[in-house]
Amino acid sequence: MTTNLLRRKKDRIDDLAASGGTSLAADAFKRMSRSPIAIIGAVITVLFVLLAILSPFLAPKSPYIPYDELKNNLRPDSIPGPMPGFILGSDQNGYDFFSRLLVGSQQTLIVGVVATLIGVAVGMLIGGLAGAVGGWVDALLMRFTDILLAIPSLLLAISIAALFSHGTQWTVIIAVAVVSVPIFARLLRGAMLAQRSSDHVLAATALGVRRTTIVFRHMLPNSVGPVIVQATLTLATSIIDAAALSFLGLGDSDWTRAEWGLMLGKSQGLLDVKPELAFYPAIAIIIVALGFTLLGESLREALDPKNRR
């Protein structure tokens, strides 16, 4: 008991000694590599990204051509199951279900990443401007983001998507991006305000450093940490929101596109005929969203100074 405690104490001191002279990023990385949750999240994320990039080469068949072997066996009350060459059999239109499932990861990744990037960019512009300028600019921009925040996020995304009569991939991306803008704006503004009253900004001001230099060199780089963490978490919600929009038919109007949300939506009426058609896309969405969430959460924990020893 006592020896155990002593050993733990020693380990901790060794760790402390070893961590001397490392940067914040390296320290965070080290702590993440020790957390099993972070590793699970990272593995899921990496596998998903690899899958999305390689899916055109991995898919055994084309996801956009109906195959006669499948199509000729379609009945109102039965859809062909697994058969040689078609691992998961057919979908309701005679396409290779497995290939569509693989290629669907591409759509999900593109929509999630692009929507998040747009959200981060616009959100940082608004939040940075509000935090750096302050005064009435701050008040105006923040009231605007408050309005966006007041509306439930999925409802807002649906309303925006519904504005477009003829949906494309971009409908989904824009709708999902707009929803995440106020979160990033608030986050960056708050961090910038904290920086504005920090000692090192006061010290820089006492040296006569120009305002623009103070904002871009002293305030902004110290404020982006929480934005990066939030971006990882937003990737997960973006993927879910995008899938939800497609599910509701507010996304891409091209119904043949291989996209998990769309596949899920189209298979609603077929649950009693071939439940796998709904089951696999749903599981895929859940796993990917979980992966990003785990990664984001552990990143947040690793960067949180309160958790540092």
Partner 1 sequence: MALLEVRDLSVTFKRKGIRPFTAVDRISFDVEPGRTVGLVGESGSGKSVTALAIMGLLPKRGAEAQGSVRFEGTDLLTLSDKQLRDKRGRDLGMVFQDPLSSLNPVIPIGLQITEVLERHRGMSRKQASVEAKDLLGRVGIPDPSRRLSEYPHQLSGGMRQRALIAIALACKPRLLIADEPTTALDVTIQAQILALLQELVRETGTALIMITHDLGVVAGLCDEVNVMYGGRVVERAERHALFAAARHPYTHGLLESIPRLDAPRGEKLLPIKGSVADNIPWEHACAFAPRCPNALDRCREVMPELVPDNGGMLRCHNPVGAMQGVRA
Contact set with partner 1 (CB under 8 A): 21, 23-24, 198-200, 202-210, 213, 217-218, 221-222
Instruction: Select from 211, 213, 226 the least CA-distant residue to 133.
Output: 211
d(CA 140, CA 185): 13
CB of 218 to partner 1, least distance (A): 5
d(CA 289, CA 287): 6
User: 243-281 burial string, b = 16+ CB within 10 Å, else e?
Assistant: bbbbbeebbbeeeebbbbbbbbbbbeeeeeebebbbebb
Per the document, the length of the chain is 309
Nearer to partner 1 by C-beta: 21 or 76? 21
Q: Say which residues have a Cβ less than 8 Å from residue 284's Cβ, sequence separation at least 6.
A: 101, 104, 105, 108, 260
Nearer to partner 1 by C-beta: 19 or 35? 19
- Name the phi and psi angles at 90, rounded to 5: -100, 160
Nearer to partner 1 by C-beta: 5 or 207? 207
CB of 137 to partner 1, least distance (A): 16
CB of 142 to partner 1, least distance (A): 18
CB of 60 to partner 1, least distance (A): 49
Nearer to partner 1 by C-beta: 85 or 221? 221
Nearer to partner 1 by C-beta: 110 or 209? 209
Q: Are 281 and 98 in contact (CB under 8 A)?
A: no
CB of 228 to partner 1, least distance (A): 13
Nearer to partner 1 by C-beta: 61 or 218? 218
Q: Say which residues have a Cβ less than 8 Å from residue 264's Cβ, sequence separation at least 6.
A: 243, 246, 247, 278, 281, 282, 285
Nearer to partner 1 by C-beta: 199 or 272? 199
Q: Tell me the β-bridge partners of 289.
A: none
CB of 198 to partner 1, least distance (A): 7
Nearer to partner 1 by C-beta: 186 or 196? 196
3-state secondary structure of 75: strand
Q: Are 86 and 96 in contact (CB under 8 A)?
A: yes
3-state secondary structure 263-296: HHHHCHHHCCCCCHHHHHHHHHHHHHHHHHHHHH
CB of 179 to partner 1, least distance (A): 30
CB of 120 to partner 1, least distance (A): 19
d(CA 188, CA 302): 19
3-state secondary structure of 112: helix
